[in-house]
Copies of this chain bind each other. A is one copy, B any other.
Amino acid sequence: MAKAKNILFIMFDQLRWDYLSCYGHPHLDTPNIDRIAKMGVRFTNARIQSPLCGPSRMSTYTGRYVHSHGAAWNGYPLNVGEMTMGDHLRNMGMDAVLVGKTHMQADAEGMRRLGLEPDSLIGARVSECGFDAFERDDGLAFEGKIKGGPFLETHSADKYNAYLREKGYEGENPWHDYANSGLDDDGNVLSGWFLKNSTEPANIAEEDSETPYMTRRGIDFIEQAGDRPWCCHLSLIKPHWPYIVPAPYHDMYGPEHFIAPVRAEAEKDTDHPVVRGMIEAPVGKSFSQDHVRETVLTAYMGLIKQIDDQMGVLWAYLEESGRMEDTMIVINSDHGDYIGDHWMGEKMFFHDTSVKVPLIIYDPSPDADATRGTTCDALVEMIDLAPTFYEVAGGDATDVDHILEGESLIPILHGTAKRTKRDVSFCEYDFGHTPQAEHMGLAPDDSRMFMVATHDWKLIHFEGGFRPVLFDLRNDPNELVDLGKSPDHADTIAEMYGHLHHWALRNSQRVTVPTKQILSRRKNMGPGSGIMIGVWAPEDVPPGSVDHYVNRTAQDKRPAT
């Protein structure tokens, strides 16, 4: 094997950390993904920086916290001034290419202000979160109508829809009608938007469904890539809803394969208005019903199995092409899925059900031989990927530590460190744009939550005047008991708030001046630099340093006094 030249950065959407066999699922066998864990390092304490697709990805792709980049919710444009992973990699001569989903919303207003044309090379990259888009596809070709507004469609699966039509799937939206719906015996579309249809086989040939399609597009990219090093972000939409999968995956799993939900009756009694709001939200109530959960799980597990099979296809290609020898493989997810755990649905809160994600990294470099097949429980944040990739591309991550807020995982991969430097990791969620905030009458600024986690404790701070939530991760790893108002834990809560406050004051915006430049230049200030402040007379500065100010004559232009 050789030093990693390329990076294949694979992300699945809404894949829980505990739904892979290498992470311990007793019945969902994922041998292909497991194989990469055997070849590399499997991280068991990796968390994303926001439990929602958009902000999670914006953090991962910029290597910065949400509190730093501000793209805090789905559809919030990423400020045109934010540097991305792609910018950093290109500075080191590595291409950054997208195949699939980013959930990026271009900062159209910022681009207009700075005169960036969307169809220029720079404008296209800025629009695509720093990637050269081989194929951009965010899935979810929804159709709907905002009250009192226009009919909405998203075009984010246009190329895939064109592919399907070319393959003979007729209609305006084959993504919906075939890839994400079943069919009844009368030819009626059974929309995958409805959870009851999750046990239907998707009305599509398996090879035409999204995961195989996008995997092949990833292979297409690698096949035609030239000699320059590349980072390919292969970003698949599944197992994110719609929860529906084609045969034979649709009925591979049943109740005998499901793991029990992680929840306690007492959680429902919470007095915390925000937490209660999530439990009582429609998705909370829905996924907490066993029949709903079990129907969904059938498809959820089937989708993951299909993913694993496709990873097998991909690894076979990498082997036959020689790319397995010189390509780092990174597998992760953008967040988890409650599916009824803690009486909640979806992902937008901070239990590890959602914020902990799988992270598996295979580094072909000989330096990584020492750690093959190991696990690492260091506190990892997904913003660590950016500096890690920068170092694979040949950079020194400390050259960009005034911008990137994570740390390189190369020392861990190469066995020279067992931990990351951090003692505490962070995650944030801004629910200001949600019906819950509207219902609670909360201003957007008061709808923000911050998670602070060490190995032992997890604190959740709420803006808006709500009390915090606290979990004892050592004694209550399932996070069932909220100690947020426990007087016995006041000291712990204060300590965790200390971490939050220190982080909040961090220097996140001095992105135009490298730290090393400051350290070097501050040694060289003083009279000789030409600026003298508070100096009484020439004899008060080192001889020779200001001769030019002293040994000079001029005409007499003094006004007569």
Q: Could you list which residues of chain A lie within 8 angstroms of chain B, going by C-beta atoms?
A: 67-73, 76-83, 87, 107, 109-110, 113-116, 120, 122, 126, 140, 142-149, 152-154, 169-171, 176-178, 181-183, 186-189, 191, 193-196, 201-206, 208, 241, 246-248, 282-283, 286-287, 292, 345-346, 430, 432-435, 437-438, 443-445, 448, 450, 461, 463, 497, 500-501, 504-513, 515, 518-519, 521-538, 545-546, 548-550, 552-559, 561
A69 proximity list for chain B (CB < 8 A): 509
Contact A510/B72 with A189-B554, A247-B558, A558-B247 known, Cβ cut-off 8 Å: yes
A450 proximity list for chain B (CB < 8 A): 505
Q: Can you spell out 26 A-B residue pairs with CB atoms less than 8 angstroms apart? A: A70-B510, A76-B510, A78-B512, A87-B113, A115-B120, A140-B531, A142-B531, A145-B545, A147-B523, A147-B524, A153-B530, A169-B555, A171-B554, A183-B554, A187-B554, A189-B552, A191-B546, A194-B532, A201-B558, A203-B557, A246-B559, A283-B533, A435-B522, A444-B519, A450-B505, A500-B501
B115 close to A116 (CB less than 8 A): yes
B76 close to A512 (CB less than 8 A): yes
For A203, A450, A557, the residue with the greatest tally of chain B CB atoms inside 10 Å of its CB is A557
Q: Which of B147, B188, B528, B552 contacts A147 (CB 8 A)?
A: B528
A77 close to B513 (CB less than 8 A): yes
A193 proximity list for chain B (CB < 8 A): 532, 535, 546, 549
A552 close to B188 (CB less than 8 A): yes
Task: Report the copy number of this chain in the oligomer.
Answer: 2
A438 proximity list for chain B (CB < 8 A): 522-523
A511 proximity list for chain B (CB < 8 A): 70, 79
Apart from the given pairs A114-B122, A189-B549, A191-B552, 16 other A-B contacts in the complex at a CB distance below 8 Å: A69-B509, A77-B512, A81-B81, A83-B113, A142-B529, A146-B524, A147-B523, A176-B549, A189-B553, A193-B546, A195-B535, A283-B534, A286-B535, A433-B518, A433-B521, A504-B505
For A69, A140, A534, the residue with the greatest tally of chain B CB atoms inside 10 Å of its CB is A534
Chain B residue at smallest Cβ distance from A91: B113
A68 proximity list for chain B (CB < 8 A): 509
Nearest Cβ distance between residue A307 and chain B, in whole angstroms?
18
B114 close to A80 (CB less than 8 A): yes
A515 proximity list for chain B (CB < 8 A): 443-444
The list of the 6 closest CB pairs from A to B, nearest first, reads: A81-B81, A144-B530, A70-B509, A504-B504, A142-B530, A283-B534
Q: Which of B87, B114, B145, B521 contacts A529 (CB 8 A)?
A: B145
* A430 to B505 Cα, complex, angstroms: 12
A556 proximity list for chain B (CB < 8 A): 183, 187, 203
* A548 to B202 Cα, complex, angstroms: 18
Q: Which of B546, B549, B559 contacts A247 (CB 8 A)?
A: B559
Nearest Cβ distance between residue A447 and chain B, in whole angstroms?
9
Chain B residue at smallest Cβ distance from A553: B187
B557 close to A169 (CB less than 8 A): yes
Contact A445/B507 with A538-B194, A561-B247 known, Cβ cut-off 8 Å: yes
A537 proximity list for chain B (CB < 8 A): 194-196
Contact A145/B530 with A169-B555, A248-B561, A535-B286 known, Cβ cut-off 8 Å: yes
A557 proximity list for chain B (CB < 8 A): 169, 178, 183, 203-205, 208
B518 close to A444 (CB less than 8 A): yes
Nearest Cβ distance between residue A423 and chain B, in whole angstroms?
16
Nearest Cβ distance between residue A272 and chain B, in whole angstroms?
19
Contact A512/B71 with A205-B557, A522-B435, A534-B286 known, Cβ cut-off 8 Å: yes
A282 proximity list for chain B (CB < 8 A): 534-535
A194 proximity list for chain B (CB < 8 A): 532, 535-538, 549
* A182 to B552 Cα, complex, angstroms: 11
B201 close to A559 (CB less than 8 A): yes
* A107 to B510 Cα, complex, angstroms: 12
A530 close to B143 (CB less than 8 A): yes
Q: Which of B170, B248, B507, B532 contacts A448 (CB 8 A)?
A: B507
B178 close to A554 (CB less than 8 A): yes
Nearest Cβ distance between residue A66 and chain B, in whole angstroms?
8
A107 proximity list for chain B (CB < 8 A): 512
A145 proximity list for chain B (CB < 8 A): 528-530, 545
* A140 to B530 Cα, complex, angstroms: 10
A122 proximity list for chain B (CB < 8 A): 113-115
* A143 to B559 Cα, complex, angstroms: 26
For A70, A510, A532, A550, the residue with the greatest tally of chain B CB atoms inside 10 Å of its CB is A510
* A549 to B536 Cα, complex, angstroms: 82
For A146, A171, A536, the residue with the greatest tally of chain B CB atoms inside 10 Å of its CB is A536
Q: Which of B120, B171, B536, B550 contacts A196 (CB 8 A)?
A: B536
Chain B residue at smallest Cβ distance from A141: B530
A206 proximity list for chain B (CB < 8 A): 559
Chain B residue at smallest Cβ distance from A438: B522
A67 close to B203 (CB less than 8 A): no
A203 proximity list for chain B (CB < 8 A): 554, 556-558
